[in-house]
């Protein structure tokens, strides 16, 4: 059977970049084997639902170029693909587990459970609702059928899974091998909540079974839940159809200490979301890779290598090459450090491969936002001069702004180091040369250099001051490329203005 895999995010906010990597690995695995890639929205926790999150997720994958075969936005043979729309399906399976003794009704209130936790804390223990404690709690295992039935009509209740005592549970993981857990260490997770909605655990297993999912490829944080899911497949009689599990390594902070979070991005100045996110509840704006000027193909390439290795020194892969090369057995068990400088390196490489028209159209957006209007021909010449200096599309303005606006200030360090009392006179003599010389790069270069040689002027000193006049600091491409591009009048204007100002 060809693989059927799903990416199943919750619409509780923006999509974390770690979630993008999980989806990417699912996509690569499915496509390599001619399988099916599915988007399912797991919105059973309505208290955490955030408006716009589902649309954000879909838009992010459209930008990245990862196309789903079935899903909430595309439909398919196993629709609906949103769990809140599948609510009537789940109760029958919860009832099936109750009828066969694999689950039980629990009436414990939040206050009662909190009291138990506090009592355990006083003994320096941690309370867990499990095989060791459930008979001391208020549930259908400790009260009669009649009282259970009566209480179900009067007060809220949940349905919990009933783990068997002292049973070894085996999870065969494609990345981690055999993982064995004793049932006595596991808590009896809630399967059905008092609001009539299933929890992630029940809905996840039921949907994977009904949608014929063959492989569950998800983050390492779900590994502790895997024994429960294995037991649910057994209890529901679906063990033969149970998917293969693969738990991916975590994306770590740049220093390797802990899981990458939004706070790390805020602290270190890089996005942790694919697109910019405007939080509808707080109004907070979080940056995205698209808006920062990253290319989707660079992000795909970068993420693919965070936890997976082809086994060679090759680092640059097209999406099709990734599909052909991907092997789930090559995924590492260890967490992968998130290196934003490496992401910039990938983006730099992919930007250099873009044609000039792409960079022109991208840069024109920035120019228009700044109220500037320049012909594509001029913008194209500027782009060609600075493209090898940029890592992000957004770097174009920083590297090329002086082609569009004269400097409004001058680098004080350069002034202190290079500017002396002879500089104004020398610069005004260069103005005279520019006024009467054919305005062509090579001719201008030769004329200015001849003036420097004839007057025994320090070349580095005067050329840095000339650049300072035109750019405002000691940066930029070849000086005479700048002069020939901005033109005679603008060059002379800037030199005179700098002499007057400095």
**Higher-scoring residue by pLDDT: 311, 170:** 170
What per-residue string of b and e applies to 418-439 under the rule 16 or more CB within 10 Å gives b?
A: bbeeebbebbeebbeebeeeee
| pLDDT at residue 45 in the model | 85
Mean local confidence (pLDDT), 321-339:
95
Q: Is the pLDDT of residue 307 over 90?
A: yes
Q: How confident is the model at residue 44 (pLDDT cuts 50, 70, 90)?
A: confident
| pLDDT at residue 480 in the model | 96
Determine which helix (DSSP H) or strand (DSSP E) holds 421, and give its type and residue range. Answer: none
Domains belonging to the chain, first-starting first, are: 1-70+249-353 (3.40.50.620), 88-192 (3.90.800.10), 354-390 (no CATH), 412-501 (1.10.10.350)
Mean local confidence (pLDDT), 49-69:
97
Give CA–CA dist 20/273, Å, rounded.
9
Q: Is the pLDDT of residue 1 over 90?
A: no
Neighbours of 234 (CB within 10 A): 14
Give CA–CA dist 42/25, Å, rounded.
19
Mean local confidence (pLDDT), 138-150:
97
Beta-strand ranges (E) seen in 288-398 are 336-337
Q: Is the pLDDT of residue 474 over 90?
A: yes
Residue with tokens 């589902």: 54
| pLDDT at residue 46 in the model | 81
SS3 assignment, position 276: coil
Mean local confidence (pLDDT), 100-124:
96
Catalytic residue set = 262
DSSP string, 197-242: -B-HHHHHHHHHHHTT--EEEEEGGGGGGHHHHHHHHHHTT-GGGP
Give CA–CA dist 293/409, Å, rounded.
27
The rounded Cα 69 to chain-centroid distance in angstroms is 22
- What confidence tens digit (pLDDT) does each residue in 230-286 have? 999 999 999 999 999 999 999 999 999 999 998 999 899 999 999 999 999 899 999
296 CB-side CA count, 13 A: 12
| pLDDT at residue 366 in the model | 95
Q: Model pTM?
A: 0.93
Residue with tokens 């609001």: 195
- Across the chain, what does the average pLDDT equal? 96
Q: How confident is the model at residue 47 (pLDDT cuts 50, 70, 90)?
A: confident
Q: How confident is the model at residue 385 (pLDDT cuts 50, 70, 90)?
A: very high
Q: Is the pLDDT of residue 293 over 90?
A: yes
190-192 vs 158-161, strand pairing mode: antiparallel
Instruction: Tell me the longest C-alpha to C-alpha distance in the chain.
Output: 110
Q: How confident is the model at residue 311 (pLDDT cuts 50, 70, 90)?
A: confident
Percent with pLDDT over 90 in the chain? 96
Residues 6+ apart with CB under 8 A from 391: 344, 345, 347, 348, 351
| pLDDT at residue 186 in the model | 97
| pLDDT at residue 300 in the model | 98
Q: Is the pLDDT of residue 501 over 90?
A: yes
| pLDDT at residue 213 in the model | 98
On whether the CB atoms of residues 22 and 64 are closer than 8 A, the answer is no
Phi, psi for residue 107 in degrees, rounded to 5: -110, 0
Determine which helix (DSSP H) or strand (DSSP E) holds 37, and give its type and residue range. Answer: strand 36-39
285-286 vs 277-278, strand pairing mode: antiparallel
Determine which helix (DSSP H) or strand (DSSP E) holds 179, and give its type and residue range. Answer: strand 177-182
> Percent helix, strand and coil across the chain, each rounded to 5?
50, 15, 35
């Amino acid at each position: 059977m060809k693989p059927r895999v799903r990416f199943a995010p919750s619409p509780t906010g923006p999509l974390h970049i770690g979630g993008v990597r999980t989806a990417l690995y699912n996509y690569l695995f499915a496509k390599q084997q001619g399988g099916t890639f599915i988007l399912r929205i797991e919105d059973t926790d309505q208290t955490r639902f955030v408006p716009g999150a589902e649309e954000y997720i879909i838009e992010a994958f459209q930008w990245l170029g990862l196309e789903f075969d079935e899903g909430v936005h595309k439909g398919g043979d196993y629709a609906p693909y949103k769990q809140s729309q599948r609510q009537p399906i789940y109760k029958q399976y919860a009832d099936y587990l109750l009828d066969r003794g694999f689950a039980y009704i629990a009436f414990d209130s939040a206050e009662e459970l909190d009291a138990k936790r506090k009592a355990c804390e006083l003994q320096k223990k941690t309370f867990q609702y499990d095989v060791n404690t459930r008979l001391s709690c208020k549930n259908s295992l400790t009260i009669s059928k009649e009282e259970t039935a009566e209480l179900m009509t009067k007060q809220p209740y949940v349905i919990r899974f009933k783990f068997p005592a002292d049973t070894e549970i085996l999870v065969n993981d494609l990345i981690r091998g055999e993982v064995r857990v004793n049932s006595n260490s596991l808590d009896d997770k809630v399967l059905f909540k008092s609001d009539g909605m299933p929890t992630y655990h029940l809905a996840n297993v039921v949907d994977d079974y009904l949608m014929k999912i063959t492989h569950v490829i998800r983050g390492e944080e779900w590994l502790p839940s895997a024994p429960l899911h294995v037991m649910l497949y057994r209890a529901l009689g679906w063990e033969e159809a149970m998917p293969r599990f693969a738990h991916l390594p975590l994306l770590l902070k740049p220093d390797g200490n802990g899981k990458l979070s939004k706070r790390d991005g805020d602290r270190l100045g890089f996005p942790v979301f694919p697109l910019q996110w405007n939080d509808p509840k707080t109004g907070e704006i979080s940056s995205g890779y698209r808006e920062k000027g990253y290319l989707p193909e660079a992000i795909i390439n970068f993420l693919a290598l965070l936890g997976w290795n082809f086994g060679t020194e090759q680092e640059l892969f097209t999406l099709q090459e990734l599909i052909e090369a991907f092997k789930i057995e090559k995924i590492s068990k260890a967490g992968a450090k998130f290196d934003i400088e490496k992401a910039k390196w990938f983006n730099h490489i992919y930007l250099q491969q873009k044609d000039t028209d792409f960079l022109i159209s991208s840069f024109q957006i920035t120019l228009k936002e700044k109220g500037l209007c320049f012909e594509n021909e001029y913008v194209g010449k500027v782009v060609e001069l600075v493209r090898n200096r940029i890592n992000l599309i957004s770097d174009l303005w920083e590297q090329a702004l002086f082609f569009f606006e004269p400097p409004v200030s001058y680098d004080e360090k350069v002034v202190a180091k290079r500017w002396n009392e002879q500089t104004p006179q020398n610069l005004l003599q260069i103005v005279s040369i520019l006024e009467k010389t054919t305005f062509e790069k090579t001719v201008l270069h030769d004329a200015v250099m001849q003036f420097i040689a004839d007057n025994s002027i320090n070349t580095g000193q005067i050329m840095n001051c000339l650049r300072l006049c035109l750019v405002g600091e000691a940066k930029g491409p070849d000086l005479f490329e700048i002069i020939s591009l901005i033109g005679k009048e603008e060059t002379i204007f800037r030199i005179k203005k700098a002499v007057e100002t400095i």
